[in-house]
């Protein structure tokens, strides 16, 4: 299996969830919490998890959990905006 085939397979598994449907799949964070993260996305690194299609805001599920893991690695919140959380 070539690396190109692996990449396509990984992309197929990626799930984009509309913000309004997030709690159908995950209990945390609530929609209000997601909206807060989206509003402050440039300062908290959450912009990496967001995809916009027209007026619809989608959360890239795997990137969301990568973002959470990165925040857990860096427990000092004052440094979150200074970190390049996801490259």
27-75 confidence digits (pLDDT tens): 999 999 999 999 999 999 999 999 999 999 999 999 999 999 988 887 6
Residue range(s) defining the domain that contains residue 53: 16-82
| Total domains in the fold of the chain | 1
Are 27 and 19 in contact by the 8 Å Cβ rule? The answer is no
* Mean pLDDT within 13-28: 94
Residue 58, domain member (yes or no)? yes
pTM of the entire structure? Answer: 0.72
Residue 72, domain member (yes or no)? yes
Residue 87, domain member (yes or no)? no
Are 19 and 38 in contact by the 8 Å Cβ rule? The answer is yes
Supply the pLDDT for residue 40: 96
Output the DSSP codes for 32-73. Answer: HHHHHHHHTHHHHTGGGGEEEETTEEEEEHHHHHHHHHHHHH
């Amino acid at each position: 299996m070539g690396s190109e085939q692996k990449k396509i397979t990984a992309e197929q598994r990626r799930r984009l969830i509309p913000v309004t449907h997030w709690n159908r799949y995950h209990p945390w964070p609530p929609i209000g919490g997601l909206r807060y993260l989206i509003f402050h996305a440039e300062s908290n690194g959450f912009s990496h998890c967001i995809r916009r299609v027209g007026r619809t805001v989608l959360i890239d599920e795997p990137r969301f959990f990568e973002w959470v893991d990165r925040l857990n690695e860096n427990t000092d919140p004052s440094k979150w905006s200074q970190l390049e959380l996801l490259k």
